[in-house]
A and B are shown apart, each in its own frame.
Chain A
Amino acid sequence: MAQSVRIQPDLQFVKELQAVGGESLKKCYQCATCSVACPISPASNPYPRKEMVWASWGLKDKLINNPDIWLCHNCGTCSDLCPRGAKPGDLLSALRNMAYQRINVFPTIGKWMSSPKYLINLIAIPAILWAVIWFISANYYAGSAFPVGPDGEIVYGNLFFGDYFIDPIFMLTFFGMVACFFKGTRNLIKSFKPEGTTLVLGKQKPLLLCLKDVLFEEIMTHKKFKDCGDDRSDRKAGHMLVFYAFLALMVVTGVVAVGHWGGYLFHSIAIHTPLNLTNPIKILANVGAIMLIVGMAVLTNRRRSQEDAKTKSNYYDWYLLNVIWAVALTGVLSELSRLAGIPQIAYTVYYMHLVAVWMLFAYLPWSKLGHVVYRTVALTYVRHMGRR
């Protein structure tokens, strides 16, 4: 590199980084133990050593345009071995947290997501939304706040009508989220692109093929988690359980939605909820729920037993864990209380479930779960550029 780069440290940026989980970053003395220790860092220009010095010098441009932060799978080996307690792993996750704020539209939500003091705002939106629906439905349609059928059975659809409330709202939310991700992904890729052009030697694989490779070679198999070290197998197991649980629940939701809406057109494929417990779809749903809870228990336990001196969990970590816990527990509890036939509890819990699920999906691009998309994008991008 013959061209000199004018360095302009942005100390405000360093402060912000320290606030979102990188508080120890200045302790680094550049021994590069982290880059050597990292099991998955590439051989050329390895992370996280260079990110540490960029952060300590406040080189904002270099850091925010850097796809490497997404290559890290946060196993914590670097932080464990760091002789100075500078926690390089935490810095990279702080940088990702910062990216969630920076690349997404509606930066206000990103700001609300960054600190517990705004949590109430995040909860208030779905809480009010669903409370209003509950109120309207109870007063004008269901006739009761806790309606029961003739045999005392509880059908959530009788209060929160799928066709009129749940599905349209969630579809809107879902497609809104997808739109946000689309915009965010474009921003992300734009930030990776260096000024001028990069010369790529050899034949470049098409982007879509790279995406396919990433999905099948890395994400489905959780290969990077394995590469991160076998001693952290609980992490891989936990993450994989949660991942496949969500996949299962997504399939369930998809099948039910198709069956429900498609049922209006083709009666033969109509599915009516609640499903019988022996229905394969219901079995898949319940297995998914159990997998989710077991996986979450493993991940939560791991995070709780982490030494703060080595790796410190930040608010983004805890927010996501707690929201998923809320989704899983309220989901299971609403099923159980429905089967138990206690309408007051069942409807209240179901209401909470709706609030939690909406929070999970609506805020997804700004939360840590945004990595589902952004990490996939980054992995695909670097694969496309030939950085392995």
Chain B
Amino acid sequence: MAEKIGVYFDQSALGILDGEELAAHVTSKFGASCPVAKAFPVLAADSARAEIRADIEENELDGVLLCGATPRVDWDLYDFEGVIVDRVNLREHCVMSFRDADGSVPAAGDDAPELLTLMAKDYVNMGVFKLQKTGVPTPPEFETVKTIMVIGGGWAGLTAAKQAADYGFDVILVEKEAELGGKALGMLKTAPLEYPYTEAHATGIEKKIEDVTGNAKIKVITGARLEKLEGLPGQYKATIKGEQYPVGAVVLAAGWVPQNPKVLGPMGYGSVPNVVTAAEFEKLAKTGALTAKRVAFILNTSMVDGGDIYAPVCDEEAPAEAEKAAEGEETEKAKYVHKDLESVRHLPISNAVSSVVALKQANYVCDTFEDGQAFILYDSMVVQGIHERYYKAAQNRLGIMMSKAEIKGVAADGDEIIVSAGNTLMGGDIELAVDMVVLPTGIVPATAKDPIMNFVYRQGPNFPDLDLFEGYADSNYICFPYETRRTGVYAAGCVRQPMMLDAAEEDAIGATLKAIQCVESANRGVAVHPRSGDLSYPVFNFVRCTQCKRCTEECPFGALDDDEKGTPLPNYSRCRRCGTCMGACPERVISFDNYNIDQIGTMIREVYVPDNMEADGPRVIILACENDAYPALDMAAVRGKKWSPYVRIIPVRCLGSVNAIWVADAMSKGIDGVMMLGCKYGDDYQCHFVKGSEICNRRKDNIAETLNRLGVEPDRVEQYEVAIDEYDKVPDMIEEFMQMIFEKGPNPFKGY
């Protein structure tokens, strides 16, 4: 907790605001707790920083508050040893975005309008109070095991194991089959992995296996599964074949299984001879048993999947399962039942891989027979990245013919198969007589079939919400591709997303680096990601805990286990420091040293709220997600957007960390509305912490009930979804909300 704070103003960022006047305001308001308050012409100047250092020395300051530009810039400049530094965003959120009550924008050189000065003072006051409620976190001591466990000995797993060993880590590689190699073992060739990327070649899996089996740092356990994974990153205990191994972090490269070809029935699979899947065709090629000279590779599977990957899968068994779930709730802690997530959707989702595989296998046909003819009938040829060169090369090959086509039927006709198709590039409907038809193989991730990890976590043995991703072990596909919903476990290869060998290799290396980062971060007691290096951690005041289990249930990362009674058991290195638990707790048991209920609550309470809304305007608090909404507001200001002078913006770690008490505080204080700006949620969520904005939205219903009871209109509290690039929309959202507040009139609690 900072007790002696130096407050500094950056006149170069303040525009028409007078830094000296604000400094005088600080001195008169805070007196001895802010012994130094001054304005510099340019805060970033070396001389200014030298002066601050001298002030710290002279006045024994333990906190420094810098008022000027957004904290998102120049953060590397202001590092003062031994004091807590915080920033007040007077430039973007105050001066630049200021618009007077009548809509006018003051010109350069004008005197600062009263509302602007009021706003600046509010922000400065909030900054000082925040610092006064900010402590220095001291993370717990933590010993970590420098062992990386790799699940799966296929292409990705072997790469990851080798990579981790090369970086000096011990590796345990677990493979469920009796031998290493995985799916790559069964491939005749791979789509090109090297320049000029025009010809398929042998995979080179044998070399990868040798590299791993010959490496002293890698312990290979074949014919085994991970039976249990307990503990926390850095200190996991993995049970394999009944034996326990200490493990630091895990690379999950469990791969995939071919989709059950029964779904391909409508396209002749199982009824028409010589209709095979790509996986079966690869086997034929590998064993040299290719006899078909004319082969149709059908990539357009809309006959089976309807062609729309966004259409909901109709789940015939759904009602039965809902019943089961209802029963489960009654018996409280029901045993985990794995739901098989394999569906017809794995077919279109795998299209990018299927497309390149079709190119490769079409080449097999022409390699085997000089007069071979391979037809590729697609809806969309999805060829990613450098594979474009392979596509070009295949296209240029005499015997390979491609066309967009709607498949109308696949039927046997004597020894031949007739493929009928419409809407082709040739114009009109066509029929094609071939000797063999190859249908794509859907890539079903191992995690869809089985809880591979077998976590001993309160939230269950598998990753949560896998149904959002058809079973693929991916959590935040936009920002952090390797992260799963369990800190310490990083997914690579086809268990994460359908991909070719080249991408799997890159994936394996990325996931390995993440795993190493995790072990190293855990060792230093800091967060891994996305708040990399964050020293803070949730502190529990168990005296007041009522064992309501909200925190343990809501934690998006399963960081909290609990004991018999339901008291939460924190696992620090599983935690990502989002504060969702803090937002959940009705008893305000959970806090961070530098981010807590009291801190934000005080900031809200210290906003000046005039009694007469008609004369002096309303006041609205914006709780803005610091990851996306806050930068969006910054960008809006930089691009010349203006917004109401009555809002006060407070950054929060995540909307998930917003505790209902803050809203109650604001309302009882007389604040007229609370806007919560957070990330998009739902299937295409953008939340850094996956669930934050979604949980906030759910809690809002409870808040609404409370407000109703108090006699306050619940729509005074509203949540908005903002993407980081929607700076152009944010001002309109604020405007819309302000209009609503003006219509509603003042908060009935005002003046009490």
Contacts and interface: CB of A to CB of B under 8 A. Distances in A.
A6 B431 contact: yes
B426 A59 contact: yes
Interface in A247-291: none
Given A27-B392, A53-B426, A57-B401, A7 B432 contact: yes
B425 interface: yes
Interface string B400-431: 01011000000000000000100001111111
Contacts of A242: none
Contacts of A15: 398
20 contacts: A2-B429, A3-B429, A4-B428, A4-B429, A4-B430, A5-B426, A6-B431, A7-B430, A7-B432, A8-B433, A11-B398, A11-B399, A26-B396, A27-B395, A30-B425, A50-B427, A56-B395, A57-B426, A58-B401, A84-B392
Contacts of A27: 392, 395-396
A9 interface: yes
A115 interface: no
B399 A53 contact: no
B441 interface: no
B371 interface: yes
Contacts of B396: 26-27
Could you say which interface size class chain B belongs to? 20 to 34
A11 B431 contact: no
Contacts of A26: 395-398
Interface of B: 371, 373, 392, 395-399, 401, 403-404, 420, 425-433
A163 to B, nearest CB: 56
Nearest to A3: B429
Contacts of B392: 27, 84
Given A11-B398, A11-B399, A45 B425 contact: no
Interface string A340-377: 00000000000000000000000000000000000000
B394 to A, nearest CB: 10
Contacts of B398: 11, 14-15, 26
Contacts, number: 62
A6 B433 contact: yes
Contacts of B426: 5, 7, 50, 53-54, 57, 59, 62
B401 A5 contact: no
A57 B429 contact: no
A29 interface: yes
Nearest to B294: A9
Contacts of A50: 425-427
A35 B392 CA distance: 21
Contacts of A28: 395
Nearest to A49: B425
A1 interface: yes
Contacts of B429: 1-5
Contacts of A45: 427
Interface string A23-52: 000111110000000000000010000100
Contacts of B430: 4-7
A11 B373 contact: yes
Contacts of B427: 1, 45, 50
Nearest to A23: B396
A11 B425 contact: no
Contacts of A29: 395
A8 B418 CA distance: 12
A9 B429 CA distance: 15
A198 to B, nearest CB: 15
Contacts of B373: 9, 11
